[in-house]
Structure 1
């Protein structure tokens, strides 16, 4: 029972962390040899990371900004346009068993959907304001098949 309560707390913690407002920061144009090919280059809708940096088609994304116990990795985007982005990847979730610092990250295949774009604050940059994660093969204990969170 204690392990189940901890897993539920981690899931709830991830939801709370995602509910915290994020702001999309303006990114500068890339320079030749830019080490970050996913940085925003303007003209498209972006996903803001935990530090408010703009990303387009990121290969990974931290879901639980507060504690890092849930992250999306190995992301491959089949669609990324002004209104919606859809991709596949893996959600790595800490099982927090027996407690989070000693827990194990478990991997679950997922489909990720970004929606509800809005204009940026001051920069005019459009960013997605909602993320939905659908578990396609297994899921963390206590988690529904599809989880949606607001983004800042």
Structure 2
């Protein structure tokens, strides 16, 4: 009789262990699927912005001031070919004051320009927002006398 009790105890113990393993596996299954917060981060984020002189974030602006202090260089008539998480590209004109004989009495001239933005980084004012960190201006024809054919500038944060 003692052997029968041992066999029965062993069978109950095996059944309990089997049930524990099944419950443990079933309860572990939901943890393996992504949590709602993980799904939210997988969604596409907003495109990067271009921060203007007044610290306003802009997407595809038609104009942009390059010389915030005096306004002697600005981009105008911007037409954006693309704007995405990696880069942006537009054509337009760079309106530049020649500052001759001095800036207040100077004349503004327009130069066709290709504008490229890249190096998206978190914006210090709002780290959840990506902002372009660099602007590259390429002059396909004439350009201001003191400018190179390609000018690269860091953008403010």
Task: State whether TM-score is above 0.5.
Answer: yes
- 1:48 equivalent to 2:51? Answer yes
CA distance in 1, matches of 2:89, 2:54: 22
1:69-119 Cα distance to aligned partner (Å, 9 max, x none): 000000000010011000000000001111110110000000000000011
SS of the residue corresponding to residue 89 of structure 2 reads strand
The runs of 4+ residues in structure 1 deviating greater than 6 Å are none
**Alignment partner of 1:61 out of 59, 64, 83:** 64
Question: Match of 2:134?
Answer: 130
Q: How does 1:11-26 map to 2 (within 5 A)?
A: none
**Alignment partner of 2:95 out of 92, 96, 110:** 92
SS of the residue corresponding to residue 123 of structure 2 reads coil
> Size of the alignment, in residue pairs?
111
Deviation at 1:121, TM superposition (A): 2.3
Deviation at 1:120, TM superposition (A): 2.1
CA distance in 2, matches of 1:132, 1:109: 13
**Alignment partner of 1:141 out of 145, 151, 154:** 145
Deviation at 1:63, TM superposition (A): 0.3
Stretches of structure 1 lacking an aligned partner (at least 5 in a row): 1-41
SS of the residue corresponding to residue 104 of structure 2 reads helix
Q: How does 1:100-119 map to 2 (within 5 A)?
A: 100-119=103-122
Deviation at 1:142, TM superposition (A): 1.9
Deviation at 1:148, TM superposition (A): 0.5
Stretches of structure 2 lacking an aligned partner (at least 5 in a row): 1-44
Larger Rg: 2
Question: Match of 1:77?
Answer: 80
CA distance in 2, matches of 1:137, 1:92: 14
Higher relative contact order (CA 8 A, sep 6+): 1
Structure with more of its chain in helix, by fraction: 2
CA distance in 1, matches of 2:125, 2:53: 19
CA distance in 1, matches of 2:137, 2:116: 7
